Amino acid sequence: MKSNRIILILIFFGIGYFLYYKDKPGPIGKLWETVSGVFKTKGSAKDEPNPYKAPEPDNEATATKNNNEATATNKKTDNSKSDESSDDHKSLFDKIKDKVLDKEDSPPPVADDVIPDFALPAISKSDEIIRHKNYILRYEEKYEVPAWVVHKLRGEYTKGRANRGDNQFIPDKKVENNSALSTDYSNSGYDRGHMVPAADFKCCQELMNETFYMSNICPQVPDFNRGIWENIESRVRGWALRDKELYIVTGPVLTKGMKTIGRYNEVAVPTFFYKIVLYYPAGSAKNARAIAFLLPNEALHGKRMSSYVVPIDQIEKVTGLDFFAKLPDDIENKIEAVSDWDLWTDD
C-alpha cells in the first residue's frame, strides 16, 4: 500500500516536471516539440492567413493581392465542413466584448442607393455617375474633380467613434479613366477639400473612409477649407441633429481657363464652391425648405456665412446644373427662388 502511494507521488511529480519544462529549451522541450508535431493537423487554422486582415492602404498592388487571397480563403472556408468559424478562435472575453459593443456601437442602418432621385441634379446619358455607400457624384474627368456630390445626412450619422486616422486619400477606381491622385495635390499650396465632409459620418468608419476617395475631393485654399467652409459644414451638422434628415448637394463652379495643379493629372482649381441643403420631410412636402451658399475659394477671415447665402436659381445660372429636377414643379420653384437664412437659424 505504501509502495503504491510512493509510485503515485512519483507519477504526479513527473507529470508536473514535464509540463513545467515542455515549453522551455532543453531535451524535454525538444521531445514535446517532436511529439506535438506528429499530431499537428496540416493546414490548421493557426497556420492559415487571416482572411479578415485589411490590406495596407499605401500599397495598391499588395492591397489587390491580399483582397484576392481573402476572397479565395473565404470561399474555401464556406465550402469546407471541417473548417472552424472565426468565432471559435475568439476568447470568451472577446466574444462577450463583441456582443456588448455590437449593442452599444452598432451604426444606424445604411443601405446602397438610399438617396432618392428627387435629391439629385438632372442627369444626362453622357454624365459619369459614381455611386458609393451614402453619396452619389458626377465626375468631370476633364477637370479631375466632381461637378456635384449628393449625400443624405441624418443627425444620428454625426455621432460615433469613427475617426480620420491617417487621412489616407485614395484614388477612386470606379472612375472610368482613373480619378486624380493624392500626390497631385502635394506641394501645390492647396488643401484636399472634401465635398462630403468626413465628420458627417462619425457613426460608421466605413462611410467616413469612403469620403477620402479622390473623386470627392477638390483643391481648396487652406484658410478657406479650414475656415468658413468648415464652419458651414459644422452648422449643417447642427441642422441635421435638429431636423433629423437633410439632403446636401456640394460642388465647385467649373469654368474655362481655371488654374490647374497636379504631378500626374491636371486638376482644376475652382474659383467658387457651392453647398445646397434641402429639408424635405416625408409626407409633408409643403414644409420643404432649402438654403444655398456660394463662396469664393479664398481666405474669408471675419466674414459671416450668412453673407454668402444665395437663391438656388443663382447657383444654377453659374453652374449650368438643374438641381432637384424631379421634385414637383411647384415645390422646386418655391425652394429655388428664395434662400432665407432666417428660416434655418435664429442668428
Which positions are annotated as active-site residues?
A: 194
**CB 126 within 8 Å of CB 326:** no
How far apart CA 16 and CA 13 sit, in angstroms, is 5
CA 85 to chain centroid? 28
Burial 43-58 (b: 16+ CB within 10 A, else e): eeeeeeeebeeebeee
Helical segments of 244-342, H only:
312-319, 329-337
**CB 173 within 8 Å of CB 245:** no
Measured over the CA atoms of residue 141, residue 146, residue 152 and residue 153, the dihedral's sign is positive
Alpha-carbon distance values, 247 to 27, 108, 318 (Å):
71, 17, 21
**Does an H or E element contain 252, and which?**
strand 245-252
How far apart CA 210 and CA 213 sit, in angstroms, is 6
**CB 114 within 8 Å of CB 152:** yes
How far apart CA 306 and CA 343 sit, in angstroms, is 12
How far apart CA 181 and CA 186 sit, in angstroms, is 10
Instruction: Name the grid cell of 342.
Output: 432666417
**Contacts with 205 (C-beta within 8 Å, 6 or more apart), sequence order:** 162, 163
